[in-house]
Amino acid sequence: MSISQINGQRLLDNLHALGQIGALPSGGVNRLALSDADRAGRDWTLARMRELGMRVAVDAIGNIVGTYPGTEDLPPVMMGSHIDTVRTGGLYDGNYGVLAGLEVIDTLREAGIQTQRPLAVAVFTNEEGARFQPDMMGSLVYVGGLPLPEALTTSDADGVSVQTELQRIGYQGTATVGEPMVDSYVELHIEQGPVLEQLGLQIGVVEGVQGISWTEFTVEGQSNHAGTTPMALRHDAALVAAQVTVFVRELSQRLGGRQLATVGALRLSPNLVNVIAQQAVFTVDLRNTDSGALAQAESDLHAYAQQAAQAEGVRITHRSLARFEPVAFDPLVVNLVEQQTQALGASYQRMPSGAGHDAQMLARVCPSAMIFVPSVGGLSHNVREHTEPADLQRGAQLLLQVVLALANRPY
């Protein structure tokens, strides 16, 4: 049976159409979770699902699941990702996995093909965690990893809750969280790193996702006059934030391997040129494929932060924003992705994911895996995020072939 070919131009057109929603004047996209732009993106995506004749459900955390019926009433093979972005996002992070999933449905529908198992496409709420932590919030609730009430009462930096925003944008749905039960999950995503491009490879067969540890530190010092306070008498919150920032870079170099460390958010108060900072609130993002090394990095970080605070005579507290162990995807689904990649004649390598993804949550409840396509310059979470059309098309074609194999496999 000749395999249907996805319509690459239609996929590109849809990526650009969705990319207009929340578009930044300088290029790129700002579609923070549960913002007005996110609502508009959700409305657009729902309309696309309905155009494809999909049955659409929205659950209590705002996850959207479109289902395309199969010949058998079995748990669906699910594709999907997210359409929320960071504040300086690109066209492809998350959006590509959702729209490629809809392109697969469109292609099969046009060919009059119905798979044995139904196919589903999911849009998970707040994958980025840029506004509300933790990241992958919608999929974590979906798999029962975060109680719904705890997610709904989570607030952003302005004290606005997830529930308030879900209701405001009209996406606190009534579908039961975690339904439908999923047969298997395949997420297509841009790599968001430099590996495939540097090796000149077309596909990443993703074997798992590294561990993630997000911590928010609050340092309380003493504001004072920058011109009259002797250096020895200062209790400078900004100094401790800066020391920890330098420390985590040195920590990643000392631990080596795949240890990553980032201070991405920093707020000083009162944040004035001639006032010693009274407060510093900052985040530390630690990642490692090795669970033990990640725990070691966390332990070293907290020991150093306490010691630096004590030396400066300031108080330091912290709270965890997200903590996920490394995840290994289902070997059978990973093997299937590899086989279909070979059948497509694409160059590839097996690799871990540096970024977090909804697939690492779905892996808790069903066999899951991911497919990567190259990111130009390894850039992502950056308005210049780009993937070549040929790579976007190839990834979507591979997704179609993988889900066809999963949806029609003997049961």
Give 377's DSSP letter.
G
Q: Which is nearer to Mn ion, 65 or 276 (CB)?
A: 65
Pairing of strands 203-209, 348-353: parallel
Our finding on whether 97 is near ligand HGY (CB under 6 A) is no
Instruction: Report in angstroms how near the CB of residue 367 gets to ligand HGY at its nearest.
Output: 22
Kindly state the DSSP code that residue 321 receives in the 8-state scheme. Answer: E
Instruction: Choose the contact partner of 94 out of ligand HGY, Mn ion, none; CB within 5 to 8 A by kind.
Output: Mn ion
Nearer to ligand HGY, 35 or 401 (CB): 35
Q: Does 127 bind ligand HGY (CB under 6 A)?
A: yes
Strands (E), 23-147: 55-58, 64-68, 77-81, 119-123
Residues that contact ligand HGY, how many (by CB under 6 A):
6
Q: What angle do CA 50, 56, 61 make, to 5 degrees?
A: 135
Size of the site for Mn ion (CB under 5 A): 2
- Does 187 engage in binding with ligand HGY (CB under 6 A)? no
356 contact, one of Mn ion, ligand HGY, none, CB 5-8 Å limit per kind: ligand HGY
Q: Assess 355 for contact with ligand HGY (CB under 6 A).
A: yes
The residue among 361, 217, 186, 188 whose CA lies nearest residue 280 is 217
Minimum CB separation from Mn ion for residue 381, in Å? 6
The answer to whether the beta carbons of residues 147 and 319 sit under 8 Å apart is: no
Distance of CA 42 to the CA centre of its chain: 17
Q: Is 91 a binder of ligand HGY (CB under 6 A)?
A: no
Minimum CB–partner distance for residue 335 and Mn ion (Å): 24
- Confirm or reject binding of residue 94 to Mn ion (CB under 5 A): yes
Question: 389: part of which helix (H) or strand (E)?
Answer: helix 389-407
Question: Contact, 242 vs 212, CB < 8 A?
Answer: no
Binder of residue 119, out of ligand HGY, Mn ion, none (CB less than 5 to 8 A by kind): none
Q: Compute the distance between CA of residue 211 and CA of residue 323 in angstroms, rounded to an integer.
A: 8
The residue among 126 and 163 lying less far from Mn ion, judged by its C-beta, is: 126
> Do residues 269 and 279 touch, judged by C-beta distance below 8 A?
yes
Residues facing residue 225 across a β-bridge: 275
Nearest to ligand HGY of 22, 356 (CB atom): 356
* Interacting residue ranges for ligand HGY, rule: CB under 6 A: 127-129, 135, 355-356
